[in-house]
Amino acid sequence: MVIKELRTAAQKHRLVVLTLEDDSKAKGIVEEVTENGRVKIRYEADVDWIPIKDVVKVSVLIPFGGG
């Protein structure tokens, strides 16, 4: 389920909050989900690759107005 949500967020360039196994959070725009099990997330001025196995929850932030 997490991979499906991440792929949809990447296709629509959605802002997400990822909750990780260690209870930390990562907030940014999903740019890519790779076949080798990583998600590329862009923050304001940085990019990070997070192992999908570390993601326990995906919260997708939908812009007001449904866009």
List, for residues 16-55, the tens digit of each pLDDT value: 999 999 999 999 999 999 999 999 999 988 999 999 999 9
Residue 66 lies in a domain: no
Q: What is the CATH number of the domain that holds 25?
A: 2.30.30.100
Write the burial class of residue 30 (CB in 10 Å: 0-12 exposed, 13-18 middle, 19+ buried): buried
* pLDDT of residue 66 exceeding 90: no
Cα separation, 27 vs 18, whole angstroms = 6
Residue 39 lies in a domain: yes
Residue 13 lies in a domain: yes
